[in-house]
Structure 1
Amino acid sequence: MAELTPGGYKLKTQNVWFEEERALYLNIDSEWMLDPSTPDGLKIAHDAEIFSALDEALYRAWASKDPAKAVGIDLDAISSITGTFRKAGTPSNVDLTFTGVPGSVILADSIVESADTGQRWLVDQTFTVGPGGTAVVPARSEKTGAIQADPGTITKIITTIAGVSAVTNAGPATPGTEMERDSNLRIRRRLAVGRPGNNQVDSLYGELSNTPGVRRVKVYENPTGSASVDPDLNPHGLPAHSLTILVDGGVAADVAMAIYTKKNPGVLLNGDGTPVQEWVTSPTIATHRQLITFGRPDYVDIVVAVDIKDDGTLPDDLESQIKDAILAFAAGESPSGEDGFKTTGFDIGESVPISTMYTPINQVIGRYGNSYVTSLTLDGAAANKAIAYNELSRWLDSNITVTTS
C-alpha cells in the first residue's frame, strides 16, 4: 500500500498501482500476455482502480486529523479542541442616531428597519438620549452576512421606545461576513491556540478573534518608555508602555470583556481610530471594576470603477457577479474555500494594491470567452490605495461601478 512517512501520507496514483502489479506478473513470466483485452490485463486494471480508491480513502482519514488538510466536520472537530467553533457568520454594523427627549432610554436589542430594503437592525447596548436630544448608538443587522445600508436609509422604529421620535444612519453600514469557510477557520484556529499562552499579544489575538461578531483584530504594542517614533519598536508613535487594540465588529461589552481576561495588569490601553471605553466587572470578583479602552478602525470607503472589453460572451448579470466577487475577495471569502487565495481579506492597516483587484474580476470574466479589463481605478486613480495603521478599507456594493465597451 501507500507509505506513511515522517513527511506525511504518500499517495500512489492508479497508474503506479497498475505498473507495480504488472511488474509482479512479468517477474513470474516475462512473456505473460497482459494486454487490457486479456482477462489478466483486465484484472490488473481492476485491482489498480480498487487499490487507488482505498488509498484515497485512507489518505482522507489521515488528513481528517491534520488541521492543515481537514475539511468540513473533521475540521470542526479539530478546532473544537482549542475552543474554536465555526462562526455561522457575522452581522453588519452601523451607527444609528436617535432623536428624542433627553433622558429617554433606548434598550439593548431594540429593533429598527431600513426603509429601502426592509432589513432589520438591533441596538447593541442600552443607551440614554443625551442633553442635546440625540444619541449615537451602535447596532447590528438581524441577519448575518454582508447586509448593505446606505446613509439615511434606516429610518423606521419597530420597537416602541418612549420619548424617541426618529432614527437615521449618518454613515453606511459596515458589511458582515457569511458562514466561516474552512480556510478562514484554519487561520482563526491557529490564532486561538495562543489564547491560553503566556504571550500577551498572542493571547489577545486569540481571545478577540473568538469573540462573537468580531471580524478583524489588530494589536499594536509599544514596549519602549517613550512615545517617540521608533522605526522598529514604535513606528506609529503610540504612548509609552501601551497596547493599542483595534477591533472590527463585535458588541463593545463583549470585546471589552475579552480584553479584560487577557490584558496584563498595569499596561496602558490606548484608544486609537475611534476610541471606545467600557466598564467591565470581573467575572470572579464582583466588586472589582475596570475601564477598558480599545478602538474601532476608521473606515475608508473604497470606490471601484472597472471597464471590461466584451467579446460578446459576457452574461447579462455580469455587474452583479463582479460586485459579489470583489466584496467576497475583500472580505477574505475564498471562492474555492481553500488556503492559497487571499483568505484573510484586507486587514486593519493594510493598503490595497490595485494589482490584486484584478484577481476577483478575472475570476469572473475568465469563465467566458476572451473578454478583458481595459481600465481599473480605486478612488478615481489607477494606483494603490494607502491605508493608515488605524484604518480599514470598507467595500460597499453602491461604491462599485462596472461598465463594458
Structure 2
Amino acid sequence: MSAPVCTIDATGIHVPSYDDVLAYFQTEFRGIYGSDVYLGNDSQDGQWVAILALAHYDSCTMAAAVYNSYSPTTGQGAGLSSNVKINGIARAIPTHSTVDLTIIGQAGTVISTGIATDGTHRWFLPSTVTIPPGGEIIVTASAEDAGAVEADPGTITTIGTPTRGWQTVTNVLAATAGAPVESDADLRRRQKVSTALPSLTVLEGIAGAVATIEGVTRYAPYENDTNVTDGDGVPPHSIAMVVEGGDAQAIAVAIASKKTPGAYTYGTTAEVVTDRYGLDHTIRFFRPTAKRVKVEISLTALTGYTSGIGTEIQTAVAQWLSELAIGEDVRYFRIAVPANLDNGADSKTYTLTDMQIAFNGDPLGYVDLTIAFNEAAFADPADITLVVT
C-alpha cells in the first residue's frame, strides 16, 4: 500500500482523507507487529496509530494551505495581502468617513488645516484649500474618528476654524461611512478588478484605476457611445463614473489619466486636473445618492430563539442591503436569504411569516425598490424592525 500524500495535477492540489491515512498506518503497524494486533479506539496501540495518522494528515492539509496561499483566489489573511501586491494594491486598513464639502468664500482665500462640524463630529479639510476665482470649491473632508461616522445632506454647516474670507460650508450629499479592515472576500474582488488596469478597454481601465484608490468602497462605470442621450441621462459620447468613498481629487486624477482625449465626463461632482503641460481639465463624476431602506420582518419564534439571533437577522439584512452594487435594485424576495441567515443553524429557531420593505419615509409594501444608476441602497441594523410572535 503506497503512502497517502498530497498530489498536484492540472486541477490543483489534493489531500488524502484522514480515513485513508489511518488505514495506511494501521496496515503498516500490523505489518511490523502481526496481523492479529488489536487497534481499536479503546486500545493503547490504536490511539498511538491514530496520533501518528492525524499528525500526517495535518501535515498534508498544511501543505495544501501553503500551496493555495500563492493564489489570490484561494489565499487568505497575510498570504492574500502579500499576493495582491503584485497588482499594485494593498489590503485596506480601517478608514475614516469622508464627505464632499462645498466651500464658499472670497477668491484667493487660503484655508489652512480647516475644520467643519455638524455639531457632533469634526470633519478635517485638506491641509490647504485655496478658494478659486469663482468663489466656490468642492473638497473632500475626513471625519476625525475612524469608523462609520454618518452625516446627512446639509448637516455639516458650521465652520470650526473661522478664517477671514471663508464664508460658508455645507455638504450637498451624505457622508460615505468609513470601513473596517478589508475582508478577504472584498480584497479578492478588488484584486480581480485591478487586473483591468492595463486592459484594452478604456472603461475597464478607468474602473480599475478608481478601484485602487484608498477609501473607495463601491463604484459603477457607464458609457454612452451613441449620438443621443441615453435613458440614464448620460450625454452622447461620454462616460459617467459613480464612486462611493475616496478622495474626490484622487478620483478625478485617476479618470483623467485613463480616459481617451476628447471624451466628456458626466457627473455632478467636478474637479480640475492639471496635466503635464499645465492645461486644466474639468473632470466630472457622481457621488452615489444614498437610498435608505427600511424593512419590517415578522417571525414566529421556535425553540432556541433568542434576542441575540434577532440581532443577527438585523445585522445580516442591513449588511446585505449596504453591499448591493451602485444602481442595483432591491429585489423584495431576495431579502429572504439574509433574513434566513443563509439557512444556517440559527435559522431553524424561527419561521418568517411576513416581510415588507420601503424607502425611508415611504409606506411599507411588497414590491421591488428601483435604484437609479447613480444611487445606492443602504441600511443600518436599526432600520430593520422585527415583529416576534
| TM-score bin, normalised by smaller chain | 0.7 to 0.9
Write the deviation string for residues 71-92 of structure 1: whole angstroms up to 9, x where unpaired: 1110010001111101113433
2:375 paired residue number: 391
Structure 1 CA distance, aligned partners of 2:171 and 2:299? Answer: 34
1:243 aligns with 2:239: yes
What SS does the corresponding residue of 1:70 show, helix, strand or coil? coil
Contact 2:102 2:139 in 1 (8 A): yes
1:372 aligns with 2:351: yes
1:328 aligns with 2:328: no
2:325 paired residue number: 347
| Cα displacement (A) at 1:32 | 3.6
Structure 2 CA distance, aligned partners of 1:187 and 1:47? Answer: 40
| Cα displacement (A) at 1:183 | 0.5
| Cα displacement (A) at 1:159 | 2.5
Match of 2:82 among 77, 85, 91: 77
1:196 paired residue number: 198
TM-score by length of 2: 0.82
Aligned partner of 1:375: which letter? D
| Cα displacement (A) at 1:106 | 7.6
Aligned partner of 2:6: which letter? A
2:361 paired residue number: none
1:256 paired residue number: 252
1:291 paired residue number: 282
1:243–1:360: structure 2 CA closer, same or farther, 3 Å change rule? same
1:187–1:43: structure 2 CA closer, same or farther, 3 Å change rule? same
What SS does the corresponding residue of 1:287 show, helix, strand or coil? coil
Structure 1 CA distance, aligned partners of 2:283 and 2:137? Answer: 21
Equivalenced residue count is 377
Across the aligned residues of Structure 1 and Structure 2, the Cα RMSD in angstroms comes to 3.6
1:309 paired residue number: 300
1:143 paired residue number: 145
Write the deviation string for residues 222-279 of structure 1: whole angstroms up to 9, x where unpaired: 334x2266xxxxx75743332222212222111000111111223x23314xx22221
Write the deviation string for residues 298-339 of structure 1: whole angstroms up to 9, x where unpaired: 3322222223334485545666554433333334xxxxxxxx
1:271 aligns with 2:266: yes
Structure 1 CA distance, aligned partners of 2:259 and 2:31? Answer: 69
1:190–1:251: structure 2 CA closer, same or farther, 3 Å change rule? same
| Cα displacement (A) at 1:388 | 2.4
Unaligned 5+ runs, structure 2: 359-363
What SS does the corresponding residue of 1:81 show, helix, strand or coil? helix
1:28-107 pair list within 5 angstroms: 31-36=35-40, 41-94=46-99, 105=109, 107=111
Name whichever of 394-403 and 101-110 sits farther off: 101-110
2:291 paired residue number: 300
1:11 aligns with 2:21: no
What SS does the corresponding residue of 2:286 show, helix, strand or coil? strand
| Cα displacement (A) at 1:376 | 1.9
1:325–1:92: structure 2 CA closer, same or farther, 3 Å change rule? farther
Structure 1 CA distance, aligned partners of 2:235 and 2:110? Answer: 35
